Amino acid sequence: MPGAIHAEGLVKTFGDVTALDGVDLDVPEGTVLGLLGPNGAGKTTAVRVLTTLLRPDSGTATVAGVDVLKHPNEVRRSIGLSGQFAAVDEYLTGRENLQMVGQLYQMRSGAAKARAGELLERFHLADAADRPARTYSGGMRRRLDLAAALVVSPPVMFMDEPTTGLDPRNRQALWDVIKELVSGGTTLLLTTQYLEEADHLAHDIAVVDHGKVIARGTSDQLKARTGGERVEVVVHERDAIAPARGILARYGPGGRGLDDVSVEDHTRKLTVPVTGGAKLLAEVIRDLDAVGIEIDDIGLRRPTLDDVFISLTGHAAERARDEENGTGRPPGKDRTNRKEPAA
């Protein structure tokens, strides 16, 4: 049985740019799929197709069992959408915004009013409820946008980079809301650039790049593919790099000896993949100390989003660029730091 969100072979091109290049997705009911990818990978385009905002060139999709292309208005009754750009009317107050959305979901005006009050309380916007949304901070706007998506508590939610640009406190608050939703049975498709976020919230992760799903799995599976933990050491003297490398190689996977240890000469940083955690770190420090190598910094590093990306795609995720927004920014162009795939 197909999941609450199911897509097969989605293709969408903008001019000569292929935003989606045959995307298949399946999100079982009540679970969270994290769509992870750099800017321009096609995440937003995928969300726009699934939320009926954009017609794909080819492919099929169902949401809550309803065909997205054949019965878009039926799909709209089952979904909530919240994005990185808060979609609220800045001249309307928070309360007016939520009431309007409720009424457009075909609620009666009294019911819409009551629900608006409830959500404003829940999202800590009660004090600002009767101020125009343009006086809200970024975090408040985002909360209002999310509240608008939850007016009818839709069984399927789409969140497009919900925490991009939020400060840590607001991000945490949003995560709590998302967890609450999911524990209430909501199916969620979440796009993000942050592995940490996907890690926290998603049952499954699909890594997207150049309009294709290039890897799927749980966050543990993905991390395993990137090589797990590493020890990073910064030595004090350049001369210490060579002996330190020899010591570190003992803790590596062992297959390639010295080649297991990567060296950055100018920062005097050595990195080696390890298994064994914190206990091993103490041993490394002891060994280096025993031969008198002075160290500036040492640490156990877990894979970051960049590691996942470099490993899976051969290029780093770029966070600084403007997110693709369906206006046809060429995905994948002007990438400067392209490398050969690591494995």
Partner 1 sequence: MTSLTDRAPRVPAARGGIAQSFADSLVVTKRNLIRMSRIPEMILFGLIQPVMFVILFTYVFGGSMQIGNSTDPDVYKNFLMAGIFAQTVTFATAGAGAGIADDMHKGLIDRFRSLPMARGAVLTGRTMADLVQTAVTLLVLAVVALIIGWRPGYAAPTNAGKIMLGFALLLLLGYAFTWIGALIGLSVRTPEAATSGGLIWLFPVTFISNAFVDSSKLPGWLQPVAEWNPFSATVQACRKLFGDPGLSPSDAWPMTYPVWASLIYSILIVVVFRTLSVRKYRRADG
Interaction between residue 214 and partner 1 (CB under 8 A): no
Q: Is 54 in the site for partner 1 (CB under 8 A)?
A: yes
- Determine, following the binding rule CB under 8 A, whether residue 186 of this chain makes contact with partner 1: yes
CB of 217 to partner 1, least distance (A): 28
Helix, coil or strand: residue 47? helix
Which of the ranges 51-59, 215-223, 273-281, 313-321 carries the binding residues for partner 1, by CB under 8 A? 51-59
Whole-number Å distance between alpha carbons of 34 and 24: 14
Q: How far is the CB of 325 from partner 1 (least distance, A)?
A: 8
Query: CB-wise, 185 or 253, nearer to partner 1?
Result: 185
Identify which range of 178-186, 239-247, 299-307, 335-343 contacts partner 1 by CB under 8 A.
178-186
Residue 277 backbone zone (phi > 0: left; psi -120 to 50: alpha; other: beta):
left
Q: Least Å distance between CB 48 and partner 1?
A: 7
Name which position in 11, 17, 53, 316 contacts partner 1 (CB under 8 A). Answer: 53
Question: Does 46 interact with partner 1 (rule: CB under 8 A)?
Answer: no
Please list every residue from 92 through 151 that binds partner 1, using CB under 8 A. 92, 96, 100-101, 103-108, 111, 115, 118-119, 121-122, 132, 148, 150-151
The CA distance from 76 to 275, in Å, is 48
Token look-up 């101020």 returns 131
Q: Which of 235, 319, 329 is nearest to 19 (CA)?
A: 329
CA–CA distances in Å: residue 78 to residues 63, 145, 153, 158: 8, 17, 9, 11
Binding mask 289-328 for partner 1 (x = CB under 8 A): ------------------------------------xxx-
Residue keyed to tokens 């998302």: 178
User: 61-100 mask for partner 1 (x: CB under 8 A)?
Assistant: ------------xx-xxxx-x-x-xxxxx-xx---x---x
- Running DSSP on this structure, what letter comes out for residue 235? E
Work out whether 154 is an interface residue with partner 1 (CB under 8 A). Answer: yes
Give rounded-to-5 percent helix, strand, coil for the chain.
35, 25, 40
Contact status: 43 vs partner 1 (CB under 8 A)? no
Q: How far is CA 136 from the centre of its chain?
A: 25
Phi/psi at 303 (nearest 5 deg)? -65, 140
Residue 190 near partner 1 by CB under 8 A:
no
Note whether 180 binds partner 1 by CB under 8 A: yes
User: What's the min distance (Å) between Cβ of 2 and partner 1?
Assistant: 21
Q: How far apart are CA 118 and CA 151, in angstroms?
A: 10
Q: Which residues contact 319 (CB under 8 A, 6 or more apart)?
A: 38, 39, 193
Selected from 31, 39, 52, 191, the binder of partner 1 by CB under 8 A is 52
For residue 74, how far is the Cα from the chain centroid? 28
Residue nearer to partner 1 on the CB measure, 83 or 332: 83
160 or 229: whose CB is closer to partner 1?
Answer: 160
Residue closer to partner 1, measured from CB, 104 or 242: 104
Contact 45, 208 (CB under 8 A): no
6 bridge partner residues: 26, 62
Output 108 or 319, the one with its CB closest to partner 1: 108
Does the CA dihedral 333-334-340-341 come out positive or negative? negative
**What is the sign, positive or negative, of the torsion defined by CA atoms of 103, 107, 113, 115?**
negative
- Pick between residue 41 and residue 240 the one whose CB is nearest to partner 1: 41
The number of residues in the chain equals 343
> Which residues of the chain form contacts with partner 1 (CB under 8 A)?
48, 51-55, 73-74, 76-79, 81, 83, 85-89, 91-92, 96, 100-101, 103-108, 111, 115, 118-119, 121-122, 132, 148, 150-154, 177, 180-181, 184-186, 325-327
